Structure 1
Amino acid sequence: MKNFSTKCGLAILSTLVVSSLHAAVVPDTQKNSSWFNEGQAAIQKQLALTPKNKAKNVILFVGDGLGVSTITAGRIFAGQKLGGTGEEHKLSFDMMPYSAQVKTYNTNQQTPDSAGTMTAMMAGVKTKAGVINIAPDAERGNCESSLGYELTTALELAEAKGLSTGVVSTARITHATPAATYAKVPERNWESDDNLPEEAVAAGCKDIASQLIELEAGDGIDVALGGGRRHFLPEDSVDSEGKNGKRKDGRDLTAEWLARYQGEAASYIETQTEFDALDIAATSKVLGLFNSSHMEYEADRQNDIGGEPSLSEMTDKAIELLKKNDNGYFLMVESGRIDHAHHAGNAYRALRDTEEFAKAVQAAVDSTNPDETLILVTADHSHVFTIAGYPQRGNPILGVVKSTDANGAPLDEPSLAADGMPYTTVGYANGLGFADYGQGNGGDQRYGDSGSNGRVDLTIVDTTQSGFHQEALVPLGSETHAGEDVAVLAQGPGAQWLQGVIEQNVIFHVINQAAELGGEKYQ
């Protein structure tokens, strides 16, 4: 673990940090972090490569769990849907001119989680797994130990500079990745007060949802679109889809948000109809919570009771509202459910959400000026998702492997494993798809009979259907993240500084330098 070099009395330090956060400046504890300083040194080195070119706007796209294997499979999946072989297809962000390889580990874990990784991107400091915008000196889940170690985010710096800001996610807006744009908690599960321990309340820690509503930097977030309605509503209330809230303090944060922005043309919306009817010209603030928990997978979105906008629709609407500010804007867009589909061992839904993620990136490219808007596309971490088996060119990416003969010609019959049964091109190193875990697919006999060793015979199974769960090597209740590097691809002012292999916290410094947010002046 890398420790902060300067340590002050917690009471004094906490007072200093709180006062500094009101002005959205980077506190000394953050500047004194070795992670912060090394990230700063890395961007200073990159600055020498090309002349500085200020970005008026910054859009950070995060595909949660979008590892390189998911990008590859998603590219093939999208291309095959269009009638091609797939391998030659290009996703929107494949065509961006600059890229780098990003190291994702947390300070205490070789394979990371989203709280620590997104903190690195938003605050320039690596930290522990499960901790959001709190320096690694603090203990996870310990409120008192976190006081004085709060970090300032790029969104807060943008707000303090007069930029508009937005957060869009298909996950709960209080989930780790979107929360890391605005919240500071030593435990990512403190999404509302129902999970906040008494000692944390007594020590002064606040839940994530309330921090969104009460954000003091600038005039607060201008656009917040996603799921997680339950964390904003009291437990005795029922939302538009018949779901109860979770808050035990009786607060209706949606009402508080509207009250805060009275007279500023603020809107709170819950449905597709309300989203479509939104008058951007007459609106300055929007809070949209489209599901009690996470929003639906793209494959299931049309089944939502109240209707949900797609990620590309939310991205387009957010940009339309934010660009009204002549000072510019900062927007973070997360495709949160790529990660959830992988955890479930369901490649189809992961790839459908990847396809929609690429459409959201294209929507941003189409509606912005590349000379003044920095667009970055990256992931917080990868997954143990593999593409293997020597399938022939154009073989369905979700299908069983059909290889080539000795002369390189395609074969019609599936390749067989040592147990005499077919196997799929994509699979997982661990998770629910292990043969002894319900025969890999919840024990549903539609998926075939198991062989003598417990594997499922896929001969009569349609492995390309949305409900199929790929096989896994190691039995776990949920597939895990992976620890390998991810990619960052970019275009616009500052994109040229993303080259080579970088630590994840360098992404903050690229954003800060490109938009001159004021977190630190490097030249």
Structure 2
Amino acid sequence: MRFFASLLMSASLAACASSPLTTNAAPNAAQTGDAWFDGAQTTLAQRKTVTPVKGKAKNVILFIADGMDPTTVAVARIYDGQSRGEEGEENLLSFERFPNLAMSKTYNTDMQVPDSAGTMSAMATGYKTRVGHISVKKEVPRSDCAASLSAHAPTFVEIAEQAGLSTGVISTARLTHATPAATYAHVPDRDWESDAALPEGVYEMGCRDIASQLIDFSYGDGVDFAMGGGRGNFLPQDAQDPEDDERTGWRKDGRNLTAEWVAKSDKHEFVWNKAQFDAIDPATDPRVLGLFESSHLEYEADRENDAAGEPSLEEMTRKAIDVLSRNDKGFVLMVEAGRVDHAHHGGNAARALKDAQEYSQAVAAAREMTNENDTLIIVTADHGHTLTFAGYPGKGNNILGLVRYVSDEGESKLMLAEDDKPYTTLGYANGPGSVYHEGIDHAERPIGDEATVAGVDYLQPSLVPTGSETHGGQDVTIYASGPDAYLFSGVVEQNYIFHVMMDALRLDPQTAD
């Protein structure tokens, strides 16, 4: 214990002596010369100036970073700072500067550790529900088509459409994936993304696949701006994918939903590559469907290598706001960083953090382009993961690297585990990086050098061997700015988010029933 106490004290003193943190003095506060003391005084003064915005919201933007629990936020904060040459610990992501926050309980009504379908449905409808449900109430057993038909839970996008607002849905995952789907579709099984995935007989009962529900949307004039991946779910099996000669669509019913979208009106446009995205002119008041991959979009770390080019999450967010804000009545927009979750499932922290960094930039763009007095921005996650951040690394240590500490002599040294090998700061409680997977010699714990473990393809070590890392059941944070943001405080049920959005917009949450 003496060693660790000495280690932590040495690291703390070294950090304070070399910290790049600077701050302005709080009014009437004496300067101590200590960056963190003086910074706290400044933060206190700033917090005292915050007043709640209680007027009606014209616009609501709901940001979801799939799987972004508090540990992921803390690690992404450091990663973001270090990517600019900073130590990273003092950094804040854009949404961490928002004045209001709360903690959200993420369990499903039938699961302690949830999935994205049930959690996003809670936020989209105000009803907590079962795992696997897409905006269908909890009384319905999973995959029960007949029972689901009378248990659709109206979504905030449907209610906004009925009120005449413009609506948008953006995701770096398939547009038919759980999180975006819950804003516009109703199915008792998240896997029903195209008609090819529907069980026999359910179409005749009245159930429809998720992709077709985006096109056949029955509220208002339909979703106005939708972008993401999942082109395969919108194209028939005999249609060649425009980007990949070896791929075709997945639909069995022969419908080309992209063509049906364009046929809706002269304003409806379909785009599938970066050049077409760049050519979208908001001044023409378009209705846009953008599908940039057959399945999910590229990770942000790999996006520049995409054959046809893809817009970033920030670029899609900016374009959506430019288009939707032309409606004088206002708009609602859901933006998902879906691949944070996918990288975590793969035990690949580097890609998760890069996507989280891009997510922060998208939030910053939205705040820049809107007015805090009339736009409620909510930033949260649907659930957590099992990422761990531990090991006594010294301040400023590469967040993706091996654990190093600063000795009493000021020398950076590797921390060694009981097997006399170094280890990484980041890990997972379970996943594909486990040394306990079959075929791995447990006595020879593999560990790479600094360059290897910091690489984009490195899989962080995990404890329990699972083919895919799992979700976590921890609470996630809600960050909020704008009208009604002050209503986020304490610990709340996840479905509470919907009710704040409806209150901010002054809309009846039962309008679409």
* TM-score class, shorter: 0.7 to 0.9
How far apart, CA to CA, are the structure 2 residues paired with 1:80 and 1:271?
Answer: 32
Alignment match of 2:464 (pick from 448, 470, 474): 474
Identical-pair percentage = 53
Where 1:198 maps in the other structure, the secondary structure is coil
C-alpha spacing 1:504/1:131, structure 2 compared with 1 (3 Å): same
Distance 1:107 1:517 in 2: 26
Q: Name the SS for the 1:162 alignment partner.
A: coil
Aligned to 1:156: 158
Give the secondary structure class of the aligned counterpart of 1:306: coil
- 1:87 has 2:77 as partner: no
Shift of 1:459: 4.2
2:252 is aligned to 248
Partners of 1:460 and 1:271 in 2: how far apart? Answer: 37
Structure 2 partner of 1:512? 502
1:55–1:433 Cα change, 3 Å:
same
Provide the residue aligned with 2:430 in structure 1.
430
Partner AA of 2:255 in structure 1: R
- Deviation digits for residues 51-76 of structure 1, max 9, x if unmatched? 84210000000000000000000000
Give the residue type in structure 1 aligned to 2:251. Answer: R
Decide which moves more: 395-404 or 186-195: 395-404
Residue 349 of structure 1, aligned match among 351, 376, 386 = 351
Q: Write out per-residue CA displacement over residues 89-112 of structure 1, whole angstroms, 9 at most, x where no aligned residue.
A: 111001000000000000000000
Offset at 1:453? 1.5
Note the residue ranges of structure 1 that are not aligned, 5 or more in a row.
1-48, 440-449
Deviations 1:255-310, CA, capped at 9 Å, x for gaps: 111112x23x2110000000011111113200000000000000000111111000
Distance 1:372 1:50, change over 3 A: closer
The aligned residue for residue 417 of structure 1 is 417
* Post-superposition CA distance 1:459-495 (Å, at most 9, x none): 4652111010000000001000000000000100010
**Structure 2 match to 1:258:** 262
> How far apart, CA to CA, are the structure 2 residues paired with 1:461 and 1:98?
39
Residue 223 of structure 1 aligns with an amino acid whose one-letter code is F
- Aligned residue among 334, 337, 347 for 2:336: 334
Equivalent residues in 2 for 1:104-123, closer than 5 Å: 104-123=106-125
Gaps in structure 2 of 5+ consecutive residues: 1-50
- TM-score (structure 1 length as normaliser): 0.86
Instruction: Please show how residues 108-507 of structure 1 align to structure 2 within 5 Å.
Output: 108-242=110-244, 243-260=247-264, 262-263=265-266, 265-405=267-407, 407=408, 410-437=410-437, 453-459=443-449, 462-507=452-497
Q: CA RMSD in A?
A: 1.5
Structure 1 residue matching 2:404: 3-state secondary structure: coil
For 1:147 and 1:367, locate their aligned partners in 2 and report how far apart those are by CA, in whole Å: 39
Could you tell me whether the CA contact under 8 Å between 1:133 and 1:151 is conserved in 2?
yes
CA distance in 2, matches of 1:285, 1:517: 24
Q: Matched residue of 1:473: which SS?
A: strand
- For residues 520 and 54 of structure 1, the distance between their equivalents in structure 2, rounded to whole angstroms, comes to 18
Secondary structure at 1:296 match in 2: coil
Q: Which moved more, 1:310-319 or 1:147-156?
A: 147-156
On the 8 A contact 2:436/2:442 being kept in 1, the answer is no
| Cα separation, partners in 2 of 1:50 and 1:366, compared to 1, 3 Å | closer
Question: What are the residue-to-residue correspondences of 1:13-92 with 2, within 5 Å?
Answer: 52-92=54-94
Partners of 2:115 and 2:198 in 1: CA distance:
20
Conserved in 1, the CA contact under 8 Å of 2:313 and 2:358? yes
Q: Which amino acid aligns with 1:480?
A: T
Residue matched to 2:29: none
Q: Distance in 2 between matches of 1:438 and 1:458?
A: 20
CA deviation after TM superposition for structure 1 residue 520, in Å: 5.3
The aligned amino acid for 1:341 is A
Query: What is the distance in 1 between the residues matched to 2:216 and 2:510?
Result: 25
Q: Match of 2:14?
A: none
SS of 1:341's equivalent in the other structure is helix
Question: 1:419 offset after TM fit, Å?
Answer: 1.0
Give the deviation of 1:236 after TM superposition: 1.1
Aligned residues of 1:403 and 1:410 also touching (Cα < 8 A): no
Give the conservation status (yes or no) of the 8 Å contact 1:70–1:385: yes
Query: Distance between the aligned counterparts of 1:236 and 1:362, measured in 2?
Result: 42
CA contact (8 A) 1:165 1:331 kept: yes
The answer to whether the 8 Å contact 1:266/1:283 transfers is no
Corresponding residue of 2:39: none
Give the whole-Å Cα distance in 1 for the aligned partners of 2:481 and 2:104.
17
Q: Structure 1 CA distance, aligned partners of 2:307 and 2:315?
A: 18
- The amino acid across from 2:243 in the alignment is E
Instruction: Note if contact 1:402-1:410 (Cα within 8 Å) is conserved in structure 2.
Output: no
CA distance in structure 2 between the aligned counterparts of 1:438 and 1:312, rounded to whole angstroms? 41
Q: Is the 8 A contact 1:240 1:306 kept in 2?
A: no
**2:64, 2:380 within 8 Å by CA — same for their partners in 1?**
yes
SS class of match (2:401): coil
Change in 2 beyond 3 A, CA 1:370/1:452: closer
Taking the aligned partners of 2:339 and 2:229, their CA distance within structure 1 comes to 11
Q: Report the secondary structure of 2:207's partner residue.
A: coil
Render the CA deviation track for 1:359-395: whole Å, top value 9, x for unaligned.
0000101100111000000000000001000100000
Paired residue type of 2:357:
E
Q: Following the alignment from structure 2 to structure 1, what is the Cα–Cα distance between the partners of residues 486 and 397?
A: 36
CA contact (8 A) 1:104 1:503 kept: yes
Partner of 1:43: none
The answer as to whether partners of 2:52 and 2:483 remain within 8 angstroms in 1 is no
Give deviations 1:181-224, integer Å, cap 9, x for gaps.
Answer: 00000000000000001121121100000000011111000000
* CA distance in structure 1 between the aligned counterparts of 2:411 and 2:493, rounded to whole angstroms: 44
Q: TM-score under structure 2 normalisation?
A: 0.87
Instruction: Check whether the contact 1:392–1:410 (CA below 8 A) recurs between aligned residues.
Output: no
Q: Which amino acid aligns with 1:425?
A: T
Question: Does the 8 A contact of 1:171 with 1:293 survive in 2?
Answer: yes
What amino acid maps onto 2:481 in structure 1? Q
The offset of 1:454, in angstroms, is: 3.9
The number of equivalent residue pairs is 459
CA contact (8 A) 1:422 1:459 kept: no
Task: State the alpha-carbon separation in 1 of the partners of residues 165 and 145 from structure 2.
Answer: 31
DSSP 3-state at the match of 1:413: strand
